[in-house]
Amino acid sequence: MKMFFRGNTDYKKIIFLSLLAVQAIVLALVEAQLPFPGGIPGIKPGLANMITVVGLIFFSLCDTALIVLVRCITATLFVSGPILFIFSAAGGMLGAVVMWLLLKYAQRFFSLIGISIAGAVAHNAAQILVACFIMSDLSVMSYLPVLLTWGIFMGVFTGVCSTFMVKILKKLNFIANI
């Protein structure tokens, strides 16, 4: 965040951040077109989680939160209504914070797969909490086991994908000096 207030603007960083944000938006748009795979409606693969992991590895929590916010706002404009913005923003933010905590303090124990599983689970939990709050009814909780099972599978998938992405980006050495 500091780069916007300091005199010297870090254009390289801004460009890379916006590249990541665009990738997240495209993934969100693509996954909105996929049919929901059984179970409960509204279930989504959560591919944009991948970008959050990559952002957290190369940038700070603030920058990643910026990416998540931009992705949520744009996806809201394209796909869903204003209420679903609260959902995706709450889920994305909590997922980012949980993954940041794990990356900072528990990286010895978790690989990127475990971290993205934790992120997906936190995302689902936040969404269910927001849903309980909006509907003011606890029976929405009955969606939680289905969502968590789905979150584990998709967390493994996005974890593997982000491992490859981080490997390649580190090999490129483009962002090493940001």
Partner 1 sequence: MNIPMLKKGDIILVLILVFGILLAVISRNDSDESRISWNNANDPGREEVLAIIKQDDRLIRTVNLSKLKKREVIRLPGQFNEFIVADQKKICFMSADCPDRLCVKAGWISKPGQLAVCLHNRAMIKIVKKGDKELEGITK
Interface with partner 1 by CB under 8 A: which residues?
A: 36, 40-42, 79-81, 83-84, 87, 106, 108-114, 117-118, 121, 131, 134-137, 139-140, 142, 144-145, 148-149, 152, 160, 163, 166-167, 170-171
What is the full DSSP assignment across 33-96?
HSPP-SSSTT----TTHHHHHHHHHHS-HHHHHHHHHHHHHHHHHHTS-HHHHHHHHHHHHHHH
Closer residue to partner 1 in complex, CB, 12/167: 167
Could you tell me the smallest distance in angstroms from the CB atom of residue 109 to partner 1? 3
Could you tell me the smallest distance in angstroms from the CB atom of residue 142 to partner 1? 7
* In the block, residue with structure tokens 């059984």: 38
Q: What are phi and psi of 31, to 5 degrees?
A: -75, -20
Closer residue to partner 1 in complex, CB, 12/170: 170
Closer residue to partner 1 in complex, CB, 15/42: 42
